Amino acid sequence: MSTLIDASIRLRSSSKWDVAPDVIGVGIAESDYGAPEFIREALADYVRSGSLGYLWDQPQQALVDSFLVTYAALCDRRVDRETVRLATDVLSAFDIALKTVGRDGDVVLVPTPAYPPFLDIPERFGKRLVASPMRWDAAGHWSVDLDHIEQVVAHHPGGLFVLCNPHNPTGSIATFEELTALSEVLTAHGWHVFSDEIHAPVVHGTSPMRSYASVSPSAREHTITATAASKGWNIAGLKCAQVVIDNPQLRRRWDEHVISGHTGPSTLGVVASTLAYSSEGRAWLHGANAAYRETLEHFHARLSTQLPLARWQVPEATYLSWVDLGAYLDSGLTVAELSDRARVEWLPGASCGIAGAYDEWARINCATDASTLDRLIERLGASALRIESL
Ligand SMILES: Cc1ncc(COP(=O)(O)O)c(C=O)c1O
């Protein structure tokens, strides 16, 4: 375990652990490592200074400076400072994108499995949701189904495509070739893209992370990119996201939908994100990602022995494991019943798709210590075997 991670923090006070006392919380995508110590100390000093009024310009400019450097390094994308906007969080950026792009009744296309809010939110903004099942290749890489996407976009010009890269829940990173081919199809039919790159800091070095908007001039023109330090540095509760919009007209429309002073990041979120994106923050992140790789490896090794029929892939990014438990559910029992028996709270695959597409899957968050994962696997092994023998 990396020495950069403060081993004494094994948080049990996050939303992930808001579960009954005997339940193991591996659902919500947040890490038990908590925020880096240097950020916690800086926040404590900041609070002591009493400077807790409305956010003003100087801290925002400092965040943009820090973001530009680190984002370029993480996503292989150079960004101009005038294209950056700050938002409360990535989901409120998604809300604004839905208001900014297109009209009522336009299609929002979401590859599945998906981060569940992407399936719920579009219709609340008057859009029509279409799901596009992703493909899973023999090497364990999940990618969008371009043929299906082309069929949909050709019939519904002017929609919004929701790209999540690195991908939650599968942990795959889209390749340059995949992104380029996608940009050609979407450009041909006048589509826009909301590119969620919130997991870009948590990558494992097996595949390069490339921001969608950087793959072609047309991708740059039709994309709203959103990211945040909340996953990489565990500061989601502080509320601060960064949005990049290259196209000036799109940016103007975005600005029209943002009521200045009423929506936006918190002052503490801006202070913490500025530090996260500093060189000290990047060094900490490097250690955190090494620790996640260790726990993911540990988890998958144990899973292979205790539940050998489960199917999973080594994630290229994120601390999440997306597991197919179908082989253990032949007797008609469900993933929900399995989690009840094992006293485990994960993200059920059912919430990541529509029409029962991923009912046999579960997303398990491995950003915890090895002993918690051991207990989880033991309980799952015991419960799944009982189910098998029913
Ligand atoms: C892919 C993805 N996007 C967005 C979010 C939510 O981010 P925020 O808290 O910034 O709205 C999450 C949180 O788990 C996520 O995994």
Report the pLDDT value the prediction gives residue 6, as an integer from 0 to 100: 60
Helix or strand run (H / E) with residue 176: helix 176-188
Walking along the chain (390 residues) 10 residues at a time, the average pLDDT comes out as 55 85 95 94 96 93 98 94 97 97 96 98 98 93 97 96 98 98 97 98 96 98 98 97 98 89 89 98 96 96 94 96 91 87 96 94 96 94 68
Tally of residues, the chain: 390
Report the pLDDT value the prediction gives residue 259, as an integer from 0 to 100: 74
Ligand 1 atom with minimal separation from the 168 CA: 1
Q: How many CB atoms lie within 10 A of CB 169?
A: 29
**b/e map 108-146, b = 16+ CB within 10 Å:** bbbbbbbbbebbebbeebebebbbbebebeeebbbbbee
Beta bridge partners of 37: none
* Same fold yes or no, 15-35+290-388 and 41-279: no
Ordered by start, the domain boundaries in the chain are 15-35+290-388, 41-279
Q: Would you tell me which CATH number, out of the four given (3.30.1540.20, 3.40.50.80, 3.40.50.2300, 3.40.640.10), belongs to the domain 41-279?
A: 3.40.640.10
- Give the closest residue (by CA) to ligand 1 atom 7: 90
Distance (angstroms) between ligand 1 centre and the Cα of 381 equals: 30
- 36: region left, alpha or beta (phi > 0 left; psi from -120 to 50 alpha): beta
CA distances from 30 to 25, 261, 271, 356 (A): 10, 28, 20, 26
Ligand 1 atom with minimal separation from the 93 CA: 11
Distance (angstroms) between ligand 1 centre and the Cα of 52 equals: 25
Distance (angstroms) between ligand 1 centre and the Cα of 174 equals: 18
Q: What is the pTM of this model?
A: 0.96
CA distances from 148 to 139, 212, 290 (A): 21, 19, 36
Report the pLDDT value the prediction gives residue 389, as an integer from 0 to 100: 53
Distance (angstroms) between ligand 1 centre and the Cα of 387 equals: 34
CA distance 228 to 230: 5
Ligand 1 cavity residues, CB under 6 Å:
29, 89-91, 115, 164, 168, 196, 198, 228, 230, 236, 241
Ligand 1 atom with minimal separation from the 91 CA: 11
Provide the strand spans (E) within the chain.
24-25, 84-87, 107-112, 128-133, 135-136, 142-143, 160-164, 192-196, 223-228, 241-245, 320-324, 344-345, 347-348, 361-365
Report the pLDDT value the prediction gives residue 9, as an integer from 0 to 100: 63
Q: Would you tell me which CATH number, out of the four given (3.40.1190.20, 3.90.220.20, 3.40.980.10, 3.90.1150.10), belongs to the domain 15-35+290-388?
A: 3.90.1150.10
Report the pLDDT value the prediction gives residue 387, as an integer from 0 to 100: 56
Distance (angstroms) between ligand 1 centre and the Cα of 262 equals: 21
Report the pLDDT value the prediction gives residue 1, as an integer from 0 to 100: 46
Distance (angstroms) between ligand 1 centre and the Cα of 341 equals: 28
